[in-house]
Amino acid sequence: MKIIKRNGAEEQFDPEKIRIAVEKANCAVDEKYRMTALQIERITRNVEISCEDLGRSPAVEEIQDLVEKAIMSHGAFEVAKQYITYRYTRSLARQTNTTDDRILSLIECNNEEVKQENANKNPTVNAVQRDYMAGEISKDITRRILLPQDVVQAHEAGIIHFHDSDYFAQHMHNCDLVNLEDMLQNGTVISGTLIEKPHSFSTACNIATQIIAQVASNQYGGQSISLTHLAPFVQVSREKIRKTVEKEMEIFGIQAGEEQISQVVEARLREEVARGVQTIQYQVVTLMTTNGQAPFITVFMYLNEARNEQEKKDLAMIIEETLRQRYEGVKNEAGVWITPAFPKLIYVLEEDNVREGTPYWYLTRMAAQCTAKRMVPDFISEKKMLELKVDKNGEGHCYTCMGCRSFLTPYVDPETNQPKYYGRFNQGVVTINLVDVALSSERDVTKFWKIFDERLELCHKALMCRHERLKGTLSDAAPILWQYGALARLPKGEPIDKLLYGGYSTISLGYAGLYECVKYMTGRSHTDAEAKPFALAVMQHMNDACKGWKAQHNIDFSLYGTPLESTTYKFSKCLQNRFGIIPGITDKSYITNSYHVHVTEEIDAFTKLAFEAEFQQLSPGGAISYVEVPNMQQNIDAVLELMQFIYDNIMYAELNTKSDYCQVCGFDGEIEIQDDDGKLVWVCPQCGNTDQSKMNVARRTCGYIGTQYWNQGRTQEIKDRVLHL
């Protein structure tokens, strides 16, 4: 069994250290209060068993808490007092250098917590280390200076989670819906250089990747662009290529008819579209932004977003090429085709493509083949979104999320009375731990709602800290965002304040662990008909809170189904520390994402999607549902059936499959997770390889695909997933 030291490094569990520490405390008290050697041995063994029961690597602080409780359970209160005093003295001595220790452990690559914090960041790389080092400083300043102590204490106790505190010291926001159309059509400025409207599709793609990189370096969340904004440049290239072909014909004295010329033009145009799409695919996966990772970018594919039939056909050509290239994948360092993490793709299901015989059915079939092999695209139902995203004029809208799942609320520009989505953003997220609310209530329903309101008010306070941190930010802080079109075109020196109010941007109340919350309070899963009303009441209560805050501040608070990549593990550990191991509630190293059905619950794909659709509707600030499926590459018709079900029943969903490769033996299948002395490790089933640097593993963890590795909580969650099909 391993333990996690205070600096994040991993070490073998040694019960002898517990025995020695208790003996020292024992010897420091008067002889009449001392314990016997047998009692000390029992305490040591009890703590060891408790650590093993956790099913994960305990932190040093957790072990010391267990020691305190074990000493007191033996009635040795004077010894316990001495042990607590020693801990406190050592804690004071450490306060001056805790941040230093964590930074040094980062540099030496032995900080296990950081290694597993983000599934798309490699902490051995200098650029990533630099970002993490800055993050440690930011977190330290945030804890000591920038946040109220009750918010800090609640965050550290896992009662709430104040997301991205490693960026909070700077005036940065969460995620964006980039106005690529404005930047390409009207020009932009990158690093002080004027970038004018491109004169070809391939140039537009190249500029788009530069914009993506610049945006990613000036915020900390995900971003999205639409392929529709690139579609007009297909016609620009078509006209340019036609002139070239006609000139070539003239030079060579060739008399060609219109049909022949058009065939040559379209053939060359497709080659350019292929080059442009390849530029986006390869640039995105090879770019490294200032935070040491590829941009968290989502690419939106929505045919009905085109403004005319020709543009729609050109957009279809881009989508076709995007799906084709993504199906192929990218080559790893060994030259083997693998599944890349980015860009994330979203394909909109609509009347023109959702059924056989519709004009763009061929694209939908390609999307089904691609998702069966590469886990993308994910799917948005135009039908359901138009029903759910209705603006004040009564009009429904279909648009992409910002990054993996964060959705803007409907907004009508007061100056034009027209809907606006591109160029908007999210200010930040604070998540409430619903499991902690339930456990704190001790199943007293009246007490539950009282505690719930107290915790929501704490989240409100924390969210206003996020808002106030952005308030007063000058447009000069991120020119690409605020001055040159990605989000706005404000003058230099102007604060961004007007973009923070009136619904232009959103700010998100996240939530986690609805399943465990309901299970504890009712004794049943929220999929049970008797427990579901309570689950829906919890969701509605959070929506009502957001509505009240919005009225109070004129800020668009919105309920958000938190992805919980690393926070799921943190919340689980905190719950175990506060409440112990409760079967079915805190006995895992993770808690359930948002409203999702628990990963171990046996349920078929169609039932799961239909059930979660009702909860997704109550997460207007963002949510995504998934179904876990086996290898579906030989059963595309079943994938298409699922996609058609999504179109009719749920706004946003994805299929999770496996896409792994062992570089040692060439195994192309599912890399397994096995227990190794209390630690979950990835193992090739063919050759037994456990070297993570010599395997490619791709798993969906938070809406994005992760391609590095995950903390023990998330790894257990992945291991526990059951198939829904």
pLDDT of 120 over the 60 cut: no
SS3 state at 364: helix
pLDDT at position 171: 93
pLDDT at position 289: 60
pLDDT of 627 over the 90 cut: yes
pLDDT at position 108: 61
* 565 in active site: yes
3-state secondary structure 533-578: HHHHHHHHHHHHHHHHHHHHHCCEEEEEECCCCCHHHHHHHHHHHH
The token pair that represents 168 in the structure block: 């909070």
Q: Mean pLDDT, to the nearest integer, of 472-501?
A: 97
pLDDT of 546 over the 60 cut: yes
DSSP state of 670: -
Strand partners, 4: 10, 59
The catalytic position among 167, 421, 511, 560 is 560
Helix (H) or strand (E) holding 10: strand 10-12
Q: Mean pLDDT, to the nearest integer, of 60-76?
A: 88
* 649 in active site: no
487, exposed or middle or buried, with CB in 10 Å at 0-12, 13-18, 19+? Answer: buried
Spell out the residues 6+ positions from residue 213 whose beta carbon is closer than 8 angstroms to its own: 283, 287, 289, 295
Spell out the residues 6+ positions from residue 377 whose beta carbon is closer than 8 angstroms to its own: 301, 323, 326, 345, 346, 347, 367, 370, 371
Secondary structure (DSSP) of 290-319: TTSS---EEEEE-GGGSSSHHHHHHHHHHH
The C-alpha atoms of residue 702 and residue 596 are separated, in whole angstroms, by 12
In degrees, rounded to 5, the angle at the alpha carbon of residue 722 between the alpha carbons of residues 716 and 725 is 150
pLDDT at position 700: 87
The catalytic position among 105, 138, 165, 174 is 174
Q: At what angle do helices 309-328 and 258-286 cross, to 10 degrees?
A: 50
The C-alpha atoms of residue 487 and residue 177 are separated, in whole angstroms, by 8
Residue 392: pLDDT band with limits 50, 70, 90: very high
Nearest to 272 by CA among 228, 206, 223: 206
Tokens 């829904």 map to which residue? 724
pLDDT of 463 over the 90 cut: yes
Q: Mean pLDDT, to the nearest integer, of 151-180?
A: 95
With left for phi above 0 and alpha for psi between -120 and 50, is residue 75 left, alpha or beta? left
Q: Mean pLDDT, to the nearest integer, of 130-148?
A: 83
SS3 state at 234: helix
pLDDT of 148 over the 90 cut: yes
pLDDT at position 291: 61
The catalytic position among 111, 426, 625, 696 is 426
The catalytic position among 205, 370, 385, 404 is 404
Strand partners, 510: 431, 560
How many CA atoms lie within 13 Å of 703's alpha carbon, on the beta-carbon side? 28
> Count of CB atoms within 10 A of residue 190's CB?
16
Q: Mean pLDDT, to the nearest integer, of 210-235?
A: 95
The token pair that represents 343 in the structure block: 């860009």
The catalytic position among 202, 237, 406, 508 is 406
Strand partners, 195: 188
Residue 478: pLDDT band with limits 50, 70, 90: very high
541 touches 547 (CB < 8 A): no
pLDDT of 82 over the 60 cut: yes
Q: To the nearest whole percent, how much of the chain has pLDDT over 70?
A: 92
What are 492-506's pLDDT values in tens digits?
999 999 999 999 999
Secondary structure (DSSP) of 67-93: HHHHHHHTT-HHHHHHHHHHHHHHHHH
* 175 in active site: yes
pLDDT at position 137: 80
* 174 in active site: yes
pLDDT at position 134: 73
SS3 state at 148: coil
pLDDT of 127 over the 80 cut: no
Residue 250 vs residues 138, 246, 259, 492: alpha-carbon distances, Å:
65, 6, 16, 51
* 593 in active site: no
DSSP state of 354: S
Which range among 83-97, 149-163, 710-724 shows the weakest confidence by mean pLDDT?
83-97
pLDDT of 97 over the 60 cut: no
The catalytic position among 35, 51, 172, 175 is 175
What are 557-597's pLDDT values in tens digits?
999 999 887 899 999 999 999 999 999 999 999 999 999 99
Mean pLDDT estimate for the chain: 91
* 120 in active site: no
21 touches 47 (CB < 8 A): no
Phi, psi of 597, deg, nearest 5: -65, 140
Residue 84 vs residues 27, 65, 77, 90, 197: alpha-carbon distances, Å:
14, 9, 10, 10, 67
User: CA torsion, points 574, 576, 579, 583, in degrees to nearest 10?
Assistant: 140
pLDDT at position 157: 96
Phi, psi of 596, deg, nearest 5: -60, 150
Strand partners, 418: 413
The catalytic position among 402, 643, 662, 695 is 402
Q: Mean pLDDT, to the nearest integer, of 127-139?
A: 74
Residue 100: pLDDT band with limits 50, 70, 90: low
The catalytic position among 428, 703, 706, 713 is 703
67 touches 43 (CB < 8 A): yes
Identity at 575, one-letter amino acid code: L
* 158 in active site: no
Buried/exposed code over 253-273 (b: 16+ C-beta within 10 A; e: otherwise):
eeeeeeeeeeebbeebbeebb
Better-scored residue on pLDDT, 654 or 702: 654
Residue 290: pLDDT band with limits 50, 70, 90: low
pLDDT at position 104: 63
The catalytic position among 113, 382, 565, 717 is 565
The C-alpha atoms of residue 147 and residue 151 are separated, in whole angstroms, by 7
700 touches 713 (CB < 8 A): no
* 703 in active site: yes
pLDDT of 423 over the 70 cut: yes
pLDDT of 173 over the 80 cut: yes
The token pair that represents 119 in the structure block: 């599934």
pTM of the predicted model, to two decimals? 0.87
* 311 in active site: no
With left for phi above 0 and alpha for psi between -120 and 50, is residue 313 left, alpha or beta? alpha
Identity at 45, one-letter amino acid code: R
The C-alpha atoms of residue 309 and residue 66 are separated, in whole angstroms, by 68
Peptide bond just before 198 cis, omega within 30 deg: no
Q: Mean pLDDT, to the nearest integer, of 443-458?
A: 98
pLDDT of 481 over the 60 cut: yes
How large is the C-alpha radius of gyration of the chain?
Answer: 27
Residue 383: pLDDT band with limits 50, 70, 90: very high
Phi, psi of 561, deg, nearest 5: -75, 95
pLDDT at position 267: 97
pLDDT at position 106: 57
The C-alpha atoms of residue 339 and residue 329 are separated, in whole angstroms, by 5
pLDDT at position 103: 60
The token pair that represents 112 in the structure block: 């296990």
pLDDT of 246 over the 90 cut: yes
